Amino acid sequence: MTPTVADLIITGCTVLLHDDQERIRFEEDAAIVVREGAVESVTGAAQVVDLPAVERLDAGGQVALPGLINCHTHAPMVALRGVAEDLPTEEWFNDVVWPIESNLTERDVELGARLACAEMIRAGVTCFADHYFSMDAVGAVVEECGMRAHLGEAFFSSQGPQGRERSLEFALRHRSGRITTALAPHAPYTVTDADLTATAELAREHGLPVHLHASENRDQAEASLARHGVTPIGVLKRTGILDTDVLIAHGTGILDTDLPLLAEAGGRVSVATAPRGYLKFAWPTTTPVRALREIGIPVGLATDGAASNNSLDVWESMALTALIQKSTTGDPRWLTSRQALHHATLQSAQAVGLGDRIGSIAPGRRADIILVDLTGPHTQPVHDLAATLVHSAHSCDVRTTIVDGRVLMRDRELLTLDVAAVVGELTERMPGLLDRSHGKRIQEYGT
């Protein structure tokens, strides 16, 4: 019997694998067989020598990881990278970002998404959860460039009922293939309780998850308590949002009193942490990852938008999460490199609702795989591979990025996007995009 031809075989690498106890391990000198966009098997290099394949990738000296997942971003905001620096949160929103965003066109969003996808593919990110405007344009870029994405059309209550309706219409129309969708209210401080309640009902009715900002920082938690008598998490509880599958961005203002609400939520709750921006805005706290883990909530890694984070580098989020968790808990033993890799892989997949499809390299999972080169002087010698990956390697050590079995970057060359063309057109459009002389803004920040 002739064996059937595999689509792709990756040979000679060390593979990061998961067990069912939330642990990771590394299998050396392994091979990964990919067929029809999925992992068919992870086996020994010797087992695939005679197996025919359309394409073979020799990954000797490299480590195969599940593709990284950016669990909360606003991809098109790469266009505004560096435009609002060294500012407190309120000035960042009200004086720069929200005035500029009132100029946004669908073409700006498309170009921004294209540049963002290029950056993410080069950084080993294979999937991102995006929360922005003109999301049809983002969806089209995702379709074209080959990434996976979890998309939501953001809305404020100030947009009237049309905002929520547009978010629903987008979510229903776009869920297929590599794209999953969510309802995307902006946050409890910009969306009314009535609109959040209606969102929760729509989520249940249509089987959709919700992705929103909540308790982003301590100020928001305190303002909510003062104004409504409950924290933002309390608002999510009383509006029924916690009974949906909800992805909460940031949550650095989550208080101890919020934990029982999250633990007892009727839906699957997860949190995305993007620690770089919290440092940059000088917020007093970071996401309480340890407390969230103790009640079983997955914490995915994220970058937020590049206008605050300055990059979409999830690898950096992984390292910073390990470092900042040690620092803020005062415990050098907490959030080990292996735990950081678990956050970056399975927990991030769970956070974007894809815990059974991606996030690990195992038979039946989609073949979202990155190959990382550890032969550089900064990653040698290797005494502890997890530590080398988290604390010594960088995103630029990713040589190859694969989504659904398709190679999107080979030897650091992007195969589906043209960066120079995108940057050229974006630069031409910049004067119109940056103009703030109109005095408008899309929304007011006041927690």
Interface with a second copy (CB under 8 A): 78-83, 85-89, 115-116, 118-119, 122-123, 276, 278-284, 306, 310-313, 322-324, 326-327, 329-333, 336-337, 375-378, 380-384, 387-388, 391-392, 394-397, 419-420, 422-423, 426-427, 430, 434
In the complex, the smallest distance separating the C-beta of residue 340 from a second copy, rounded to whole angstroms, is 10
Angle between helices 106-122 and 419-434 (to 10 degrees): 140
For residue 379, the tally of other CB atoms under 10 A from its CB is 19
At residue 98's C-alpha, the angle toward residues 96 and 99, to 5°, is 65
Q: Which is nearer to a second copy, 51 or 396 (CB)?
A: 396
CB 252 → a second copy: shortest distance, Å? Answer: 11
- Minimum Å distance from CB 170 to a second copy? 26
Shortest distance in whole angstroms from residue 59 CB to a second copy: 18
- In the complex, what is the shortest distance from the CB of residue 7 to a second copy, in angstroms, rounded to a whole number? 28
State the minimum distance, in angstroms, from the CB of residue 65 to a second copy.
Answer: 17
Q: Whose Cβ is closer to a second copy: residue 41's or residue 328's? A: 328
Calpha distance 379→391 (Å, rounded): 9
Q: How far is the CB of 49 from a second copy (least distance, A)?
A: 26
Query: What separation, in Å, do the N-terminal and C-terminal C-alpha atoms of the chain show?
Result: 67
For the chain, the three-class secondary structure string (H helix, E strand, C coil) is: CCCCCEEEEEEEEEEEEECCCCCEEEEEEEEEEEECCEEEEEEEHHHHCCCCEEEEEECCCEEEEECEEEEEECHHHHHHCCCCCCCCHHHHHHHHHHHHHCCCCHHHHHHHHHHHHHHHHHCCEEEEEEEECCHHHHHHHHHHHCCEEEEEEEECHHHCHHHHHHHHHHHHHHCECCEEECEEECCCCCCCHHHHHHHHHHHHHHCCCEEEEECCCHHHHHHHHHHHCCCHHHHHHHCCHHHCCEEEEECCCCCHHHHHHHHCCCCCEEEEECHHHHHHCCCCCCCCHHHHHHCCCCEEECCCCHHHHCCCCHHHHHHHHHHHHHHHHCCCCCCCHHHHHHHHHHHHHHHCCCCCCCCCCCCCCECCEEEEECCCHHHCCCCCHHHHHHHHCCHHHEEEEEECCEEEEECCEECCCCHHHHHHHHHHHHHHHHCCCCCCCCCCCCC
Nearer to a second copy by C-beta: 296 or 332?
332
Cβ closest to a second copy, residue 172 vs residue 396? 396
Which CB atom, from 158 or from 327, has the smaller least distance to a second copy?
Answer: 327
* Least distance from a second copy to the Cβ atom of residue 17, Å: 20
Query: Smallest gap, in angstroms, from Cβ of residue 379 to a second copy?
Result: 8
Residues 6+ apart with CB under 8 A from 116: 73, 75, 76, 77, 78, 128, 306, 312
Whose Cβ is closer to a second copy: residue 119's or residue 195's?
A: 119
Q: Name the residue nearer to a second copy (CB basis): 79 or 262.
A: 79
Residue with smaller CB distance to a second copy, 47 or 327: 327
- State which residue, 296 or 381, has the beta carbon closest to a second copy: 381
Q: Which is nearer to a second copy, 217 or 244 (CB)?
A: 217
In the complex, what is the shortest distance from the CB of residue 323 to a second copy, in angstroms, rounded to a whole number?
Answer: 4
Pick the closer one to a second copy by CB: 194 or 382.
382
Q: Give min distance, CB of 61 to a second copy, in A.
A: 10
